[in-house]
Amino acid sequence: MKEMTPSGILGTGHYVPEKIITNFDLEKMVETSDEWIRTRTGIKCRHISSENENTSDLCVKAAKKAMEAAKITASDIDFIIVATITPDYITPSTACLVQDKLGCKNAGAMDISVGCTGYVYACTVASNMVSTGMYKKILVVGAETLSRIVNWHDRTTCILFGDGAGAAIVGEVSEGYGLLSAELGSDGSLGNILCIPAGGTAKPASHETIDSGDMFLHMSGSEVFKAAVRHMEFTTLKAVEKAGLKKEDINMFIAHQANNRIIQAVAKKIGLESEKVLVNVDKYGNTSAASIGIALDEAVKAGKVKKGDIVVFTGFGAGLTWGCAIFKWN
């Protein structure tokens, strides 16, 4: 049997649009308040794409920064994975658009649609592709333009979401570093608590689905909250055990940035000190598949992640899906 190649993250990057919508801006749009949003979510503002910025454009801008950090060029990339629920089109895939815009002539490309768990899934798949020797350098991007699928008249959802992209280059690393373990899960029976009811083949786009609001994101907030805390705790502890580690070994915990109350609840249940828990939801809101990638890049650039650190990504999203990936930073 062929020996597995250790694989990990060689470089990171992120991009968020220039336009910012604050809680005070939202006060003028729907019945809400800055105090209400902050106390319940921790969010202060979110970035929103311009009319001529699509998901693939966010991907490209984040990808270029990750490529620069990894010291590689477009010709070095031999596969691209884009995690998103807001693709430019149903087809072609956003990954193929990114392949073209970056000029990655030697790369295969595909999208992954697992909601907010997208970055965890994509990094896990990419790492295993490298470990088996299939590919050498894989571009992973989690990116969303959620501002296009939220109902800006629905105060229960429009206050939560923002746009952005987080990217990573996955490749071979030194022995003992890189991906140590991963745990991915799903439960389709609860898919209706976080979904877009129409727009697919089950309920195609029509005047009726547009007028009813079924083309927008629908969420049962309290049910999602409970499921997120339960699954993120369980999957993290399982991945830690699988890696042969203890929770005390964790140096940096990066959970999906959906809501500060969820992040703190998960961290408390696991038993993590606050200084090990990264939170940036206040600046960006919930950017779905982009959130962990954005947070990771900020942590790396700020020097909060050092060689040898145990870095944990934990996500939960539509599907329902959840997952945890543990890396020893190289």
Query: Does one domain contain both 243 and 304?
Result: yes
Q: Do residues 201 and 292 share a domain?
A: yes
CATH number for position 41: 3.40.47.10
- pLDDT (mean) for 61-76: 98
| Active-site residue (options: 104, 116, 123, 158) | 116
Question: Is 0.85 topped by the overall pTM?
Answer: yes
Q: What is the pLDDT of residues 100-158, one digit of tens each?
A: 999 999 999 999 999 999 999 999 999 999 999 999 999 999 999 999 999 999 999 99
- Of 59, 286, 324, 330, the active-site residue reads 286
**CA 260, 264, 267, 272 torsion: positive or negative?**
positive
For residues 34 and 145, membership in a common domain is answered with: yes
Residues 185, 164, single domain; the answer is no
Catalytic residue among 256, 259, 324, 330: 256
Is 286 one of the annotated active-site residues of the chain? yes
Strand locations in the chain (E): 7-15, 19-22, 45-48, 79-83, 108-112, 137-145, 163-172, 178-186, 194-195, 218-219, 252-255, 310-317, 321-328
Same domain, 170 and 207: no
Taking only the tens place, the pLDDT of each residue in 200-231 is: 999 999 999 999 999 999 999 889 999 999 99
Q: Which helix (H) or strand (E) holds 62?
A: helix 55-70
Distance CA 299, CA 40 (A): 24
Is the pLDDT assigned to residue 1 strictly greater than 60? no
Q: Is residue 123 domain-shared with residue 38, that is, in the same domain?
A: yes
Q: Is residue 254 part of a domain?
A: yes
128 is catalytic: no
Q: Percentage of the chain with pLDDT > 70? A: 99
Residues of the domain holding 151: 7-176
My answer on whether 199 and 239 are in the same domain is yes
159 assigned to some structural domain: yes
Q: Are 319 and 196 in contact (CB under 8 A)?
A: no
In a domain, 1, yes or no: no
